[in-house]
């Protein structure tokens, strides 16, 4: 829950048990930066136009999400969101063992209802959820507790075959607190979410894909290239229309069907005020590639 909900501070190699997360003795993030940003991202063939890569780099703690780390992550994402040249963001964890294995348990254990309320450290999650630019999580290894919630906060998830998703908070005497009960239920349904959250069982990549939690499962070494390739395809589309479509899709999980249809129609109509709509339809009629301006 510093970064949301906690993972566990022990290791199990069996699929039936919660796997590893932030060690209780892990250092806090106040001593230095744990977020690396590359824009444009570096792909196999060179810079990926319009795509940023944000990396959580706290490998000594399996990229555990402390309060300070989340604040830093939110600031980095907001800066990219304000840059019109950035049209898609890939978020990943450094190393191969974890995307983010959960919360900093030592930091979490000393919290009280009063400190959690008055210090408002969970406000970083609201900032992350407000990012308009499409986001893609590239997940290798553990994405547990807050790490799973962070992956689900992204618009799409590319998962390695070795990825493990889970909400093991129940094994610490608490429950998900940064979207786990809500986003997991919307992604995979009530029955499956109940089972996973109430038992703390992990979900492997293949099962997560079958359940609808992840966009695609790939070989471990192909995780980041696949995510960057998807981001590049999105970045090549008209950005105003992309953001409008993203917001309409997100509303589908929150609004009744009639209200969602109304939101979609209004967004569709508004796009006819954009230069990109004029350009896109002209390019189609003239059988040429469109030149998007983001206006």
The per-residue pLDDT for 4 is 56
Catalytic residue among 107, 169, 209, 264: 169
Distance CA 173, CA 4 (A): 15
Which of 149, 209, 226, 264 does the annotation list as catalytic? Answer: 149
46 assigned to active site: no
Active site residue 264: no
Retrieve residue 15's tokens: 């699929």
Averages of pLDDT over runs of 10 residues in the chain (295 residues) are 47 32 37 87 94 97 96 98 98 97 89 92 95 98 97 98 97 95 96 97 97 98 98 97 97 95 97 97 96 94
Q: Which among 146, 179, 200, 280 is annotated as catalytic? A: 146
Q: Does the active-site annotation cover 151?
A: no
Measured CA to CA, the distance from residue 223 to residue 81 in angstroms comes to 23
User: Does the annotation count 146 as an active-site position?
Assistant: yes
The residue annotated as part of the active site, out of 61, 88, 103, 205, is 103
């Amino acid at each position: 829950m510093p970064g949301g909900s906690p993972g566990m501070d022990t290791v199990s190699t069996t699929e039936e048990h919660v796997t590893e997360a932030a060690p209780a003795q892990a250092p806090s993030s106040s001593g230095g930066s744990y977020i690396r940003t590359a824009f444009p991202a570096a792909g196999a063939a060179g810079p990926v136009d319009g795509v940023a890569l944000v990396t959580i780099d706290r490998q000594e703690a399996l990229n555990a999400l402390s309060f300070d780390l989340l604040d830093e992550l939110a600031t980095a994402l907001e800066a990219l969101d304000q840059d019109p040249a950035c049209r898609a963001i890939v978020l990943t964890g450094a190393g191969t063992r974890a995307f983010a294995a959960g919360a900093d348990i030592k930091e979490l254990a000393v919290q009280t209802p009063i400190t959690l309320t008055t210090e408002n450290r969970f406000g970083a999650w609201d900032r992350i959820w407000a990012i308009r630019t499409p986001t893609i999580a590239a997940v290798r290894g553990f994405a547990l507790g807050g790490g799973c919630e962070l992956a689900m906060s992204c618009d799409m998830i590319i998962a390695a075959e070795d990825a493990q998703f889970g909400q093991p908070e129940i094994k610490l005497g608490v429950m998900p607190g940064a979207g786990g009960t809500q986003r997991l239920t919307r992604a995979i349904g009530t029955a499956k979410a109940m089972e996973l959250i109430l038992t703390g069982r992990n979900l492997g990549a293949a099962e997560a894909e079958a359940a609808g939690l992840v966009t695609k499962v790939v070989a471990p070494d192909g995780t980041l290239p696949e995510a960057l390739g998807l981001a590049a395809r999105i970045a090549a589309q008209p950005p105003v229309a992309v953001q409008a479509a993203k917001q309409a899709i997100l509303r589908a999980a929150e609004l009744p069907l009639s209200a969602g249809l109304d939101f979609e129609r209004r967004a569709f109509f508004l796009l006819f005020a954009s230069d990109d709509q004029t350009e896109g339809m002209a390019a189609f009629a003239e059988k040429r590639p469109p030149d998007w301006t983001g206006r």
